Amino acid sequence: MKQTTEQLLDDLLEDAAPPEFRAALLDKTLRSARRRKRTRRFNMALGAAALAGICALSFWKMREAAILPDQIRQPDSMVVNSQPLQPRQIVTTQLGSIEEFVSSAFTEVQTSGSSGLYQEIDDQQLLALLSDRSAVLLHHGPYQAELIILNPGN
């Protein structure tokens, strides 16, 4: 490829240009090619230096994080003296000791429906009916709720 370019340049400058112009043109082309080569080498060296700097910085940061003093410290040794429990302090259960455990406390609430049909009330109205008692209304989901009456004996 260089030979073809050289031949074309020779053909172009052979008749029209004096030899000084031809030498100056070749010199300028050579300087331009050398400048591009130096720039390319400089950019490659700069990239390699940046990559080496990033690697060194990350290694330094990882090493610094691993060496932090007193970050994770073994606890001081401690001697604990204990005594066995007395038999009356141990609670045991046996399978089948309680056959059935039933707890129920129901309160009937009369609504003001004269037709005998149930009337639906919202949460505020339900809690208003229990204003004299401590009660909590737990919502387990959009369609499920649980009413807990605290201290039902009061």
| Cβ neighbours of residue 139 closer than 8 Å, sequence gap 6 or more | 145
Tokens at 5, concatenated: 């370019």
Model confidence pLDDT, tens digit, residues 87-103 = 877 777 777 666 655 55
Tokens at 52, concatenated: 């080496």
| Cβ neighbours of residue 26 closer than 8 Å, sequence gap 6 or more | 9
> What DSSP state is assigned to residue 123?
H
Domains of the chain, residue spans:
2-67, 120-154
Residues 144 and 128 sit within 8 Å (Cβ to Cβ): no
- Residue 37: is its pLDDT beyond 80? yes
Q: What residues pair up with 139 in beta bridges, in sequence order? A: 145
Rounded to two decimals, the pTM is 0.32
Model confidence pLDDT, tens digit, residues 112-148 = 655 556 677 887 888 788 877 777 778 777 778 888 8
By C-alpha distance, which of 55, 38, 150, 49 is closest to 105? 150
Tokens at 19, concatenated: 């030899």
Looking at 4-8, 87-91, 106-110, 148-152, which range is the least confident one? 106-110
CA distances from residue 73 to 61, 70, 100 in whole angstroms, order as listed = 21, 6, 53
Query: Which pLDDT band holds residue 13 (cuts at 50, 70, 90)?
Result: low
